[in-house]
Amino acid sequence: MANESRPCPCDIGDRFDYGGRGQEVQVEHIKAYVCKPPAGTDKAVIVIHDIFGWQLPNTRYMADMLAANGYIAICPDFFVGQEAWKPSNDWATFDEWLKTRNAGKIDKEVDVILKYLSEQCGAKKIGVIGFCWGGAAVQHLMLKNPHLKTGVSLYGVIRFFEDRSSLLHPTFFIFAEKDDHIPLEQVTLLEQKLKQNCEVDYKVKIYPGQTHGFVHRKREDINPQDKPYIEEGRKDMINWLNKYL
């Protein structure tokens, strides 16, 4: 990974003042944050957090945004009680920490959440979005879970699943041009493999001048020139979900 001292800057520009509009629930063995839209709907989106976990204000803000756009949004704790990464942690220990949190081993939890959404929330069409670690998890689910309709992977770490590209469902990949952790050559390679092997709709988009984590950070407060791209990324995400859910 580039920049070993800071493997993931998703926490820059946190909305620490953001409390969230939803509520925390217990779903079998998993805690989750749920936000529902004002009007009833049978469409839901599972939000997969980054390394900073399910309680990160930025991620809850994105779940609330999905609810405001008409979706039941649920952000489960995919670390299942294990501690999320903290910016104050020693980045030298990051790889060890990551070994116990595999983005490809969330299937049991996803099945529990799908059941909850179907039985408790009346959801019939369910999609998934994810950021960074969660973006890689989205790619994993799009490769194997038949019950999801679509996915949006936001700066998902390509190297986790770079050898597999036969997606089952339409998938939108959002990347940042200046991402220290996902080199553009990896994105190009992903596109080539998708072109060769993918039989469903997909899209790969690179946002100019942006860095890792841009869509779910409040970076418009730090760099006003980023604001149009942050807004474009969020709008593109919603439009993709609207198209396939």
Structural domain contains residue 6 = no
CATH of the domain at 239: 3.40.50.1820
Structural domain contains residue 51 = yes
**Residue the block writes with tokens 């998708």:** 194
The mean pLDDT of the chain is: 90
**pLDDT score of 6 more than 60:** no
pLDDT of residue 221: 59
**pLDDT score of 70 more than 70:** yes
Top pLDDT among 120 and 11 is at 120
**pLDDT score of 14 more than 80:** no
For 67-95, b where at least 16 C-beta lie within 10 A, e where not — what string?
bebbbbbbbbbbbeeeebbeeeeebeebe
In one letter, which amino acid is 205?
A: K
Structural domain of 110: 23-244
Mean pLDDT for 149-175 is 91
Helix or strand (DSSP H, E) at 129: strand 125-131
DSSP at 181: S
Per the structure, the count of domains in the chain is 1
Structural domain contains residue 2 = no
**Residue 24 backbone phi and psi in degrees, to 5:** -90, 135
**pLDDT score of 108 more than 60:** yes
Structural domain contains residue 180 = yes
Structure pTM? 0.93
Structural domain contains residue 86 = yes
**Residue 27 backbone phi and psi in degrees, to 5:** -120, 100
Q: Is-contact 44 73, C-beta < 8 A?
A: yes
Q: What is the pLDDT of residues 81-105, one digit of tens each?
A: 999 999 889 999 999 999 999 999 9
**pLDDT score of 136 more than 80:** yes
In one letter, which amino acid is 213?
A: G
Structural domain contains residue 14 = no
Helix or strand (DSSP H, E) at 126: strand 125-131
Structural domain contains residue 3 = no
CA distance 49 to 68: 19
Lowest mean pLDDT segment, chosen from 8-22, 151-165, 187-201, 211-225: 8-22
Cite the active site residues: 132, 179, 212
Angle CA 160–158–167, to nearest 5: 90
Structural domain contains residue 7 = no
Lowest mean pLDDT segment, chosen from 47-51, 157-161, 216-220: 216-220
SS3 assignment, position 224: helix
DSSP at 89: S
SS3 assignment, position 141: helix
Mean pLDDT for 152-181 is 91
**pLDDT score of 10 more than 60:** no
